[in-house]
Amino acid sequence: MTDKNVFKKNRNFYIGIAGTMVEGLLSGSLFLLLYTVMRLLWSGTFDLSRALKVTGLIAVIFFFRIVIYSFGYTRAQIGGAAVSRQIRLFLGDKIKRIPLSRFSKGQTGEYISVLTSDVNNYEKILTHKIGDLAKNISLSLMLIGFVMTLYVPAGLILLAADLLLIPALYLSFYMVRKYGNEKNDICAENVSSIVEYISGIQTFRAYGIGGTKNKTVTKAMKDFCDISFLYEAKVLPIGAVCGILIWLACPLIIWLAYTPWAAGTLDTISYLLICMLPIFCAKMANAIFVDLTGYKNLMISKGKIKNVAEEPEETGSRKPFQPGTHEITFDHVAFSYVPGEPVLTDVSFTAPDQKLTAIVGDSGSGKSTILNLIAKFYEAGGGTIRIGGESILSAAAEQVLTGISMVDQEVFLFDDTVRENIRHARPEATDAEIEAACRAANCDGFIRKMEKGYDTPVGENGNLLSGGERQRLSIARAILKDSPILLLDEATASLDIENELAVKQAIANLLAQKKTVVMIAHTLSIVKNADQILVVSEGRIAEAGTHAELLEKNGKYAAMWNAEQKALG
């Protein structure tokens, strides 16, 4: 599916709209029947036989209205839901092709808003607004035409009253464009703030800034409240003035039609109906104004969906990326998350095939960025990155990642069982292979002590497990995937001594396999036996060599090593 046909309507949708219109016209036919009954009553020819016939006809019309409405409403709901489903599937597929650099705090809130409220808003257009508008507009035209057959001037006044909707809707649409888009943007920012607040609720509470003390969330909610009030304050007066002018058609028609009725050129029954129908038409005109304004407002959501659909996607071939060897080369690589604020500058190195390359350096020096560029989570701003001599620039990120296993500080786990969380690394893996990977990752023991063993749910993002347990499951995934390249990002950081020892043993088992390993470490004693150590400082490779070679240089690495040894004591 492409972004050009993601909004394509289906047969059920059109059948539903047609059914809604037919049901509306049938409801209007009751006025014709009422007119007939009133004439018979006035002429004195309305007897029991005719009463039964009229009652039977009303019952038949009512029956057909129920059948057609039920069928049409159901078809419209099914058709609209089908379009909504195809939009959600399209967006789900689209999101995974959008570069990760787009997922900033504000942008993430916008994506969440589009995938949830905006898709729901567009579904409301399909399942409710369009059907209601089609029904009310067709019924209004039918009744105006009927009034014209009774007394043309009255019908023209009704038509003129309905035409007042055009300037009113023009002003209303202008206000929707002006304030509706701003309201949607503030809504997205509101979602971002709430997501950030909920994600960091433990930290906020620890520092006593939870609830209303969180100024960012409070301000976002206040901004949304203010723009919602302003939006209503600008649109409601337009509808109110338009409604007053349309309702003025009622007394005008009564006064205008009085003269021909008094002169005997307009019969009493026609005069009575002409006095009654403008009230019904005025109500429908107000409903049309509200529905069209709502329709225009909801169409902002369609624009938001289209913006996401048209976002640039990650570049690169989707053909398998399978280099013959797996050394990793950075050749004068530069990168910035924010234009004008370089994170890496002229970085060049080679991580040898099937060897361990360690990266050390100060916090914020660009260590994790190097791993992100190898995994092609981000595109380098300059220079070339090669794996096995082949540039990763021409390959799609997901193809590059097929040959990479990653173990991060932050472990993401699905709300599923232990077994299925490990299986995500290699969906075709057998239970025996999963359990073997867990034994190698030093987590088989604690898993078997759990209530249901490997079939125990881990909770949302693994909240039923400790940090060390989650980390070992992450290592088990890497072992099961068995990729030729392994990236480790400070896997033992923020763990207690017992868990750190368990994770270190798991990593040792992982490193025993012949792989190209790039490892970030905060403790130098972990990487002193690495085949190569890169010292990163202020976005550059300050030093490179083995532990012994770097100590001999007596530079930044030697200073870091001496400081660590002194701290250990």
What is the DSSP annotation of 319-384? S----SS--EEEEEEEEEEETTEEEEEEEEEEE-TTSEEEEEE-TTSSHHHHHHHHTTSS--SEEE
Indicate whether 250 pLDDT > 80: yes
Indicate whether 252 pLDDT > 90: yes
Residues 438-458 have a mean pLDDT of 88
CB contact at 8 A, 539 and 365: yes
Residues 416-440 have a mean pLDDT of 90
Q: Is residue 484 classed as helix, strand or coil in its secondary structure?
A: coil
Residues 401-430 have a mean pLDDT of 87
Residue 128 pLDDT class (50, 70, 90 cuts): confident
Q: Which domains are present in the chain?
A: 11-309 (1.20.1560.10), 314-403+489-496+515-569 (3.40.50.300), 410-482 (3.40.50.300)
Residues 458-465 have a mean pLDDT of 82
Residue 32 pLDDT class (50, 70, 90 cuts): confident
Separation of alpha carbons 520 and 511, rounded Å: 14
Q: What percent of the chain has pLDDT over 70?
A: 90
Cα dihedral 233, 238, 244, 249, rounded to 10, equals -160
Indicate whether 503 pLDDT > 80: no
Which 8-state DSSP code applies to residue 531? S
Indicate whether 255 pLDDT > 90: yes
Residues 131-142 have a mean pLDDT of 90
Residue 107 pLDDT class (50, 70, 90 cuts): low
User: Tokens standing for 196?
Assistant: 């950030």
Residue 163 pLDDT class (50, 70, 90 cuts): very high
Nearest partner of 271 among 149, 156, 145, 150, judged by Cα: 150
CB contact at 8 A, 532 and 351: yes
Ranked by mean pLDDT, the top range of 193-202, 292-301, 522-531 is 292-301
Residues 511-515 have a mean pLDDT of 76
Q: What percent of the chain has pLDDT over 90?
A: 22
For 206-229, write each residue's pLDDT tens digit.
556 555 556 777 777 788 788 888
Higher per-residue pLDDT: 387 or 441: 387
User: Tokens standing for 465?
Assistant: 């497990």
pTM over the 0.85 mark: no
Nearest partner of 386 among 334, 344, 315, 328, judged by Cα: 328
Indicate whether 504 pLDDT > 70: no
Indicate whether 485 pLDDT > 70: yes
Element holding 537 (H helix, E strand): strand 532-537
Q: What pLDDT score does 175 carry?
A: 87
CB contact at 8 A, 478 and 403: no
Higher per-residue pLDDT: 74 or 496: 74
User: Tokens standing for 413?
Assistant: 């786990």
DSSP string, 445-481: HHHHTSTTGGG-B--GGGTTS-HHHHHHHHHHHHHHH
Q: What pLDDT score does 435 carry?
A: 92
Summary mean pLDDT of the chain = 84
